[in-house]
Structure 1
Amino acid sequence: MNSNTLLDQTNEFVSSKQAIWQQIDELALEALYDELSLENKPGLVCPSGNGSHKDMNYHTFISSINSLRGYFSTLSQFGYENRPFDDLKNMGIYQEEKMREATNNINTHKGAIFNLGFVCAAIGRCIQAEIPLTAQNICEQLVERWQFDLTNRLEREPNSHGQQMFRKYGITGAIEMVSKGFEVIQSKVLPCFYNTVYRTQDFEKASMQALMTLISVLSDTNIVWRGGIKDLENAQVLAKQFLQEGGVHQLDWRQKVNNINQYFIRNNLSPGGSADLLAVTIFLYKVENEFNYPI
């Protein structure tokens, strides 16, 4: 093999990987946009309203999503290259600064930067190991590669909402969720999403059913921070009742979701943690359906 042939093959390999990183980046951005675009989410920002939020709106989130372009591609490549944990952490910190510049210092996607960033790094690890890109394999890489670092090396901000809720109520947050490989998504939420898509052929219905499933089971620190433990319990009960009555398979499901939304707004509640995990669920769904073969 002459040097020109080797160089061509090397360039082709690099080019193909760059295309994959770009595709992953687009899917992550799409997932965030899909989550944002879901109308009438209880207490959350959507195209037609601000939910329980006075400091942010749909356009704030669009600006934030645009600021994230390229980040998920970078994290995928970092995972593929087996870069040190601190490289991933520092890139996340840098990206959060970019997000805050785009939103006038409003925290719109800190959770997404953390959650989806590590999911993309795990995708990179799967590609490096030539493991099929299934949600299970991706989440296994999270646990295998970064659980120790996330649990033992990542500094907690003592005054963050999450840490205050942990000290007061023992509720864990995003770090534990990622370090354990998104157990609730794997066991409950993604199967729910697939089942609803299969039954209804409706992406909106699947997204809302998944969101209500998350609200029903998640100890959402955002809800507790804005209200308290009793508010979390009430929110979970409302979501469980909606699901037990048939969820999005009811004829009047939109009206019932709207009633829950109005309750959240009246009580200033926002399930931001559930929204973050809905974006992860949608992203994993997209990845599984886009890359349903070993790379």
Structure 2
Amino acid sequence: MEIQTLNPTTPRQRQRIEAFLKRNGLRFDDMHYYAAITDDDGEMIAGGGLKGNVIKCVAVDDAHKGEAIANTLISHLIAHANEEGHSNVKLFTKPKNRQLFESLSFRLLAEAPEAVLMETGIGGINNTVEALKKIREESEKYKEYNKECKENNKECKENSEECKEEEKTNLNTSTPQPLTTTTPLRGVVVMNCNPFTLGHHYLIEQAAKQVERLFVMVVREDCSLFAYAERKAMVEQGVAHLENVTVIDGSEYAISQATFPTYFLKRLDDAADTQMLLDLDLFRRHIAPALGATVRFVGTEPTDRLTRRYNQLMHEALADVRETVRLEKEGNAVSASRVRKAMEQGDMSTIRQLVPPTTLPYIIAHLATQALQAELDTTPKPGLVDKDNNGAHRDMDYALMQRSIDTLHPYFVKLALLGCADTLPSHTAIRDAGIEAEKAMLAATNGVNTHKGALFSMGLAIVAAAHEERKIAANEEQILKERNGGEDVLVSLQTTIKALAASFPDTNGTHGSKAKLLSKGTTAIKGALDNAREGYEMLFAEWLPFYIERRKEHDAYTLHKTLLRIMCDLDDTNVIYRTDLATAEEVKQEARALLDSFSKAHTAEDKEKRIAAELLALKDMDQRYTARNISPGGAADMLSLTIFIGSIQT
């Protein structure tokens, strides 16, 4: 017998694994590595796989059970996981297999009627428990401090009437008073916060009133729109004023639909309940005791069936579960899904009603990132990188541009947080954040300048937008009363962009500055900084209204047409730098002609046929521009900026 390595991503080898598992009553599950033990004839008699540090799909043919094959196989998988950097290995299996794996050094973490979760190796749940105990100890210091303050107040009360009044004042403050029970009451809220809303804030606020110490655990798994680090930061900033609330790291042991394998369940219908029961058992056995928590708080769930079922199972599994009726706005529960929908629709007025001001910078950063993504995904585009090809760029492709966008996003968050202040951030602070972002971008792209121009224009707009939201949050009623709808919002935003750009000195060595030199003063070429100093006049006056009107009409080719509309007007220094002034003017004329034809096709009786023809013309333009090294990169940057401004205008 020997151990063979199979690649589950290779079709032929996957088929071999699937056939073996089916023979043993199991289904195939997501894995990156599979080890098979074969007999002298090359037939698979045992096998097991790995996904990260989780062992999956372990099976031994009935004829070979009891031959210590399982021991050999599991030892091999653990060793391989260790080689990949995992000192701790987990597995999900049927309850009947518990004793087998306990004999192989695995220990039980959680159990449910249809499954158990086990682990082996150093660290693991013990490390998590110790970390949580330290957090609890820190919260105890708060309790002792309160106790000392109370004793001091008592002494003051006995000595003077003035201290009586001081104590009365102290008791009326929002600082929670220590409970008189010998065992402090502690509670836990577990939430995803994608993003953090006023509904989340309301639940935490209500829960904090019922316990001496409330721990808020943010779900760690990163399968949400907002990354874990962002979600945790939003919660921390949103509840900073609640002194008896501690925001803690999410447990790596939270079990979700994404992490729970189903290959060994007889019925897939059992998967959701089994996943939830394991998650609750982990909380009951390890998380809650480590924190000294006896109460679990949740919000009522009016719409989502799975969450409602989770709440039901929580009541059955835990001793003290307290539900808070969800906060409502305009007759509907405040939810993160409502916020995400408003983000898709560019409805900032609704977003403001659903989230605390501390969440808005993160939303603004995401809208900026989504704008860059929308520009990249627009296909076809003339001479630019898109889903079909690399355009006129030999050093860029779609994957590289995607990596660049992903790299820039955390810096968009940083810029938004800079802007979210009572006064505009200094030029130095903005410049330093931009330099840091550019260095990260170049490191991620191996030195290729993918989004330098977009970083400048989008960075200014992000700071300005965040600052405008800060002003609204500080005096919302008065500001919205003074402003006449979206137009005044845009005027104020444009003014702020001008103020930020004015602090930037003239540039040297950029495509814009070099394009000006090529013009030799014969024409008034405007670079990126010039356009910013003017507050992107053409964008606000022409391109944005054009884009918004197409979007209102639900035009499927809104972004294609808006790009062409921008190309009609913009002195694209990227085109001039790559070619010459005459070619740049030719690009303007061709874009105007194609846009006019595209618009006529939209209203023609044979609309679909005409639009198909215009798309072919756009693809032809793409091929010709690629061959001639023409890339309207400046127009692409302005398309991203137009999309972003369009998403925050109301």
> TM-score band (shorter)?
0.7 to 0.9
From 167, 171, 176, the equivalent of 2:517 is: 167
Residue equivalent to 2:453: 111
Residue equivalent to 2:501: 150
Aligned partners of 2:384 and 2:391 also within 8 Å: yes
**1:146 Cα deviation (Å)?**
5.5
Deviations 1:42-61 (A, max 9, x none): 00000110000000100110
RMSD over aligned Cα atoms: 2.4
Aligned partners of 1:134 and 1:287 also within 8 Å: no
Deviations 1:151-210 (A, max 9, x none): 4x42334222211112332411111212222111111111111222233x13x5110110
Deviations 1:42-85 (A, max 9, x none): 00000110000000100110110010122222222212222212
Mapped to 1, the partners of 2:486 and 2:413 lie a distance apart of: 18
Mapped to 1, the partners of 2:497 and 2:542 lie a distance apart of: 23
TM-score by length of 2: 0.41
**1:262 Cα deviation (Å)?**
1.8
Q: Per the alignment, in what secondary structure is the counterpart of residue 106 of structure 1? A: coil
Query: Which has the larger share of helix?
Result: 1
Deviations 1:261-287 (A, max 9, x none): 122112110000000000011111222
Query: Which has the larger share of strand?
Result: 2
Residue equivalent to 2:42: none
Is 1:235 matched up with 2:587? yes
Residue equivalent to 1:222: 574
Gapped regions of structure 2 (runs ≥ 5): 1-171, 177-204, 209-236, 242-354, 473-478, 603-609
Q: Per the alignment, in what secondary structure is the counterpart of residue 557 of structure 2? A: helix
Mapped to 2, the partners of 1:111 and 1:213 lie a distance apart of: 19
Is 1:4 matched up with 2:175? yes
The percentage of aligned residue pairs carrying the same residue is: 27
Residue equivalent to 1:194: 548
From 482, 492, 496, the equivalent of 1:140 is: 492
Aligned partners of 1:123 and 1:138 also within 8 Å: no
Mapped to 1, the partners of 2:527 and 2:587 lie a distance apart of: 17
**1:13/1:197 CA distance change after superposition, 3 Å:** farther
TM-score by length of 1: 0.88
Structure with higher Rg: it is 2
**1:244 Cα deviation (Å)?**
2.1
Residue equivalent to 2:250: none
Aligned partners of 1:122 and 1:138 also within 8 Å: no
**1:149/1:48 CA distance change after superposition, 3 Å:** closer
Aligned partners of 1:126 and 1:138 also within 8 Å: no
Residue equivalent to 1:128: 470
**1:148 Cα deviation (Å)?**
5.4
**1:243 Cα deviation (Å)?**
1.8
Letter in 2 for 1:2: T
Larger deviation: 265-274 or 188-197? 188-197
Is 1:205 matched up with 2:545? no
Letter in 1 for 2:409: R
**1:245 Cα deviation (Å)?**
2.0
**1:166/1:140 CA distance change after superposition, 3 Å:** farther
Mapped to 2, the partners of 1:148 and 1:25 lie a distance apart of: 20
